[in-house]
Amino acid sequence: MDDLKQKAAEKAVALVEPGMVVGLGEGSTALWALRAIARKLADGSLHDIVGVPCSNNYERIARELGIPLTTLEDCDHIDLTIDGADEVDPQLNLIKGGGGALLREKIVAQASRREIIIVDGSKLSPVLGTKWHVPIEVVPFGWGSQRRFLESLGARVTLRQNKTGSNFITDQGNFILDSHFGLIHDPAALAATLSARAGIVEHGLFVGLTSQLIVATSE
């Protein structure tokens, strides 16, 4: 599986050109892209790029790898973002947020001229919700009311926790409610319902944001 992820990442990194601002996605597949960018910078085949990381953790990793970084305060757009996904449907709608960085990932995606999604073949589904739940980031205040709201929509909801049993906290200091809706036949409608709810900061449905999908399979 790592070999497939690496191949998808390297295919995407081949699209990065000198002078670009590059969105640096979160997750195990996106990590391969970080490493590939760092190698190309080190050997001189890529130069004059800056990255915008989607999480504190990947900001740290990018710095350790020697990738120059910037922020959305210092640049007015991102040329190309390379990110992964937890699930992809035939219309290139996504579920993201398994790593907990969905809010920053969506901010970066919306600021990007091209959003390149890299996955292995196991992430493809005929309908979103077939394999994955929807992570929903909520403010800690009143999070129980958000849980009841999501349950009223038919979801089975779990407050995400760390391995130690403590509540998972996002980079913005919020909670994540992992919400199992079952098959999501109209992701745009569900996304609009979730976005309209006060207290829901962001959700893991990425609708209409993907420019290109790169899939690595054993074939």
Is 73 among the catalytic positions?
no
Q: Note whether 91 and 71 are within 8 A (CB).
A: no
Catalytic annotation, pick one of 10, 26, 59, 105: 105
Distances (CA, A) of 53 to 60, 157, 158: 9, 29, 27
For residue 21, what are its two tokens?
A: 């601002």
Crossing angle (nearest 10°) for helices 28-43 and 56-65? 30
Signed CA dihedral, 46, 110, 138, 97: sign only: negative
| Residues with a known catalytic role | 105
